Amino acid sequence: MINVLCFAHMKDIFGGEKLTINSGGIATVEDVLEHLKTAYDADISGIMTAVNEEFAEESTPVGQGDTVALIPPVSGG
Amino acid sequence: MKKRFFVTSEPLSVEELAAEVTRPEAGAVVQFIGTVREFTKGRRTVYLEYEAYHSMAEKQLEAIGREVKERWPDAESAVGHRTGELQISDAAVIIAVSTPHRKDAYEANEYIIERIKQIVPIWKKEHWEDGEHWVGDQLEQTRYPDGAPGGGNK
């Protein structure tokens, strides 16, 4: 399984702070985003991602047990 | 040992952050306190709610601390950021920087708050009298056109 963490308005879109998705067929961040867009009919364009707490790109590898965070534009400070 | 770069749901202390960087080599300690503003663009905020990706946010604050060291080798810095529900005038973030001379401390301090707003996964939600809104969301966001929030060493 792959853990997906949702922050800020991502929680509203996905109805919770944490999702788990099956790792079958998923090799990269892009695959995770495509899966979420399809499974939840969600508009998640313009967000950043992190894999295991490091900012990631669409091509970043994702595998079994990894944690992918959906990071909307930040607004701290 | 107490963390120099931390996210907490507890109130922040100006004195504690200053103490983290005060030392004999320093001739200047500059502190920035980011507080909750009541009116933004004419709209009244009742309170703010801050949420963090706690573990990653602390790592990113530490990374900013390393960037400061590269740019201002003589600087020492410390940052605390609040999460949870904050009332008007509460401190959301406190940044403390010490350097031998004041100019570097002012510059490094401003650098840190600008970087926090770029690369630290913390979000605030405005609660108004008649609604609520995650700042940075689809309605008024700065998107990441390059797919990444940008590096520190340009």
Q: What pLDDT is recorded for position B140?
A: 46
- A-B CB pairs within 8 A amount to 91
List the domain boundaries for chain A.
2-71
Give the ipTM of the model, two decimals please: 0.95
Residue whose tokens read 């008007």 = B88
Confidence of residue B149 (pLDDT cuts 50, 70, 90): low
Residue B145 pLDDT > 90, yes or no? no
Classified as helix, coil or strand, B66 is helix
Q: What pLDDT is recorded for position A9?
A: 92
Q: What angle do CA B121, A73, B135 make, to 5 degrees?
A: 100
Q: How far is A46 from chain B (nearest CA, A)?
A: 5
Question: Smallest Cα–Cα separation from B147: which of A12, A60, A13?
Answer: A60
CB atoms within 10 A of CB A34: 14
How do strand A48-51 and strand A54-56 relate by DSSP bridges?
A: antiparallel
The topology under which CATH files domain B5-10+18-130 is: Aldehyde Oxidoreductase; domain 3 (3.90.1170)
Question: Which neighbouring-strand residues pair with B77?
Answer: B97
Q: With an 8 Å Cβ cutoff, is B13 touching chain A?
A: no
Classified as helix, coil or strand, A19 is strand
Residue A33 pLDDT > 70, yes or no? yes
Classified as helix, coil or strand, A58 is coil
Which pLDDT tens digit goes with each residue over B88-114? 999 999 999 999 999 999 999 999 999
The mean pLDDT value for B5-13 works out to 98
Which pLDDT tens digit goes with each residue over B11-48? 999 999 999 999 999 999 999 999 999 998 889 999 99
Top CATH class of A2-71 equals alpha beta
Q: With an 8 Å Cβ cutoff, is B74 touching chain A?
A: no
Which of A57, A72, A75 is closest, CB to CB, to B147?
A57
Q: What pLDDT is recorded for position B137?
A: 52
Classified as helix, coil or strand, B128 is strand
Tell me how many helices (H) and strands (E) chain B has. 3, 9
Classified as helix, coil or strand, B31 is strand
